[in-house]
Structure 1
Amino acid sequence: MTVARGLADAQSARLVGIDPVLPPMIAPLDGDVVTAALPDGTRVAGVLQQQVHERNSPARLWSATEVWELTPLLGGAGPAGMDALMRAWRRRMELVGPAERDSACVLTWPSRDVESGSVLMDHGMVPLSVVAVRRGPAPAARSGSLVIRRAKPSDLEAVLELAMAELRYSSMVGSTVNRPEAVALKRRALAERLAAGGPTWLAEREGVAVGLAECAMVLSEPGNSASTRLPPGRWGYVNCVSVLPGARGSGVGQQLMAHVHRELHLMGAVGTYLYYNPPNPLSSVFWPRQGYRPLWTMWEVRPAGALR
């Protein structure tokens, strides 16, 4: 534990120098330990966790069914340490044997450490998702013909239609998977969210719902999972934003998110965060224009056996 804590502290010091918004690293406790040595004798490590999602798990809509996820503990070793650890991980995966096609190796790393990102690409990994953050004042209201209101349980079918439009598009340009169970899983999750009064907004044009923003409030505090990704505070989480195909490019998303950002700010959010796919030609342009920038990148290789 002492060695892991020392590596985590040294790693935090290096990475905060690259991106001061990053929270301090918390040494992972559970999983298999993978170790490697550099030519000068410096040792690095990682904690490897395997997870198999059940058939009816909502996680299978944004993840492979079988996942090996590595949390690096590189200390101050930087990209050389990452390369050594990735080689050790590859050797560990060879012991596992051929993985199912619906599998992945996953690693999350600070987006601005581009030197280590280059190493990950050398080992076959692809930057499929990012955690992006937005901080600062709420934007001014945008004029337009939309009516934006909170969604109610009676809006379930309209909300589901918009959520599925986003899922189908994202499945072509990122880590999302449009599985046969998607509609049922989405319907159940959205019904629960609407019944609980979760912060969800619809944008309507002439009485027709053309845009959706499904959100939540998340508290980042010492000891909880959010603190591994976000600075301390109460954050607005933008889970799903969708505009019907025929309404895209007409300003629906901008007007909707200006409204949502103001509402989340009034609810006490110190900032907002979301996941988007860099290969998505819509999201990768839209979200930076709304003030978001990448904080963490999720690197993947599918199937898991393709790690090199």
Structure 2
Amino acid sequence: MIGRSRTTPSGRAPEVVLTELLGDQQRRFHEVDPGLPPAVLPPPGEVLVVGDDTAGEVAGVLTQHTWPAGSAPLLWSAAEVTELHPVLGAAGRGGVDRLLTEWRARLPARVRHVADSAAVVTWPSRDVAAARAFLDHGLVPLAVLAVRRPGPPAGAVVTPGGPPVRIRRARDDDLEACVALAMHEIAYSSMVGGSVLRPDAEAVKRTALRQRFARDEPVWLAEQDGEAVGLLECGLTDVSPGSWLAGLLPVGRWGYVNCASVLPDRRGAGVGHALVTAALPGLQPPGGRGTYLYYNPPNPISSVFWPRHGYRPLWTLWEVRPAAALR
């Protein structure tokens, strides 16, 4: 059940409109970017349908989420989130504009009046017509989900002279070094992306890393002269039909990078390249679809580093904070 039924301006049930638009949206996605998975119906929430037989109908589903104190998502998310899941069919910029205007009118009070809030929409990166409408309504491309096809790492990079870089798997006794490196990444990303440097960030990250070690997920450390100077947290996941990731990635086995960090005074010296070169083989098992990660387009380092290593945007996460700033 998507949401409660009510009559739309055209006299049809919202569920009927969503289903009809979905077929056109699947075709639209394939034309915009063949690397996208088939479009799926949104998760349960409040259904919006705007337009009529003359202007053409577009639809979407609104979901609301509150992240409790101490939860890991608060390191990259606002506490109160309202999210729009558009189902546009074949509509262009005008349809997106009408839907966003209706979204602005439907912002719930608990989100509208909270400073630690965000309005978020995730949409294919190559759909520039929709991107123009998002910008017009005050949304900012704070993050992208980028993908990489299986294949060898990028070629060697030319770096200044310096101590040789040693790459190895992190151990349990490396926990504090990993936490320190991760905190450098959070602090930097909080200036150029959606990360938030919260008072309990270090404790939350320590717990997350401890759990990653317990699951034996690959965490790589880079060392120079015995000092930990770089970190790469990785993992493998199966995207199965009906899962939330199936709306973002084609079904199959995927590797992912969760966190990449290099000490500020060691950046630009090939440490990150050495980490990716060491990690990629284990993230590309036989039959795997590829690897994915999130990075911030406003980040002047990651927005260059990851495309250079073969990653390209598939989805863009458009966001405005606080949510009341949505135009």
User: Considering the TM-score relative to the shorter chain, is it more than 0.5?
Assistant: yes
Paired residue for 1:156? Answer: 175
Is the Cα contact below 8 Å between 1:108 and 1:297 reproduced in 2? yes
Q: What is the correspondence of 1:38-77 to structure 2 with a 5 Å cutoff?
A: 40-77=54-91
More displaced stretch, 268-277 vs 250-259: 268-277
C-alpha separation between the residues in 2 aligned to 1:34 and 1:243? 44
Is the counterpart of residue 112 in structure 1 residue 131 in structure 2?
no
Matching residue's letter, 2:200 = E
How far off is 1:262 after superposition? 1.8
Q: What is the correspondence of 1:1-308 to structure 2 with a 5 Å cutoff?
A: 1-37=15-51, 40-93=54-107, 98-139=112-153, 142=156, 145-266=164-285, 269-308=288-327
Percent pairwise identity? 52
Is the Cα contact below 8 Å between 1:44 and 1:81 reproduced in 2? yes
C-alpha separation between the residues in 2 aligned to 1:241 and 1:96? 34
How far off is 1:73 after superposition? 0.8
C-alpha separation between the residues in 2 aligned to 1:188 and 1:140? 33
Q: Identify if the C-alpha distance between structure 1 residues 20 and 97 changes in structure 2 by more than 3 Å, giving closer, same or farther.
A: closer
The CA deviation string for residues 211-265 of structure 1, in whole angstroms up to 9 with x for no partner, is: 1110111111211111111112111110001001111110111111111112212
3-state SS of the aligned residue for 1:105?
strand
C-alpha separation between the residues in 1 aligned to 2:288 and 2:184? 28
Number of residue pairs matched by the alignment: 308
Matching residue's letter, 1:213 = L
Cα root mean square deviation, aligned: 1.8
Is the Cα contact below 8 Å between 2:29 and 2:38 reproduced in 1? no
The CA deviation string for residues 182-232 of structure 1, in whole angstroms up to 9 with x for no partner, is: 011001110111122111111111211111110111111211111111112
Q: Which runs of 4+ in 1 moved over 3 A?
A: 94-98, 140-144, 266-269
Matching residue's letter, 1:17 = E
Is the Cα contact below 8 Å between 2:29 and 2:39 reproduced in 1? no
Is the Cα contact below 8 Å between 2:72 and 2:204 reproduced in 1? yes
Is the Cα contact below 8 Å between 2:234 and 2:257 reproduced in 1? yes
Matching residue's letter, 1:115 = A
3-state SS of the aligned residue for 2:249?
coil
Is the Cα contact below 8 Å between 1:217 and 1:269 reproduced in 2? no
C-alpha separation between the residues in 2 aligned to 1:182 and 1:137? 35
C-alpha separation between the residues in 2 aligned to 1:96 and 1:61? 21
Matching residue's letter, 1:54 = P
C-alpha separation between the residues in 2 aligned to 1:192 and 1:75? 41
C-alpha separation between the residues in 2 aligned to 1:232 and 1:55? 33
More displaced stretch, 238-247 vs 141-150: 141-150
Is the Cα contact below 8 Å between 2:150 and 2:288 reproduced in 1? no
More displaced stretch, 260-269 vs 284-293: 260-269
3-state SS of the aligned residue for 1:285?
helix
C-alpha separation between the residues in 2 aligned to 1:150 and 1:268? 24
Is the Cα contact below 8 Å between 2:63 and 2:82 reproduced in 1? yes
3-state SS of the aligned residue for 1:154?
helix
TM-score, structure 1 as length reference = 0.95
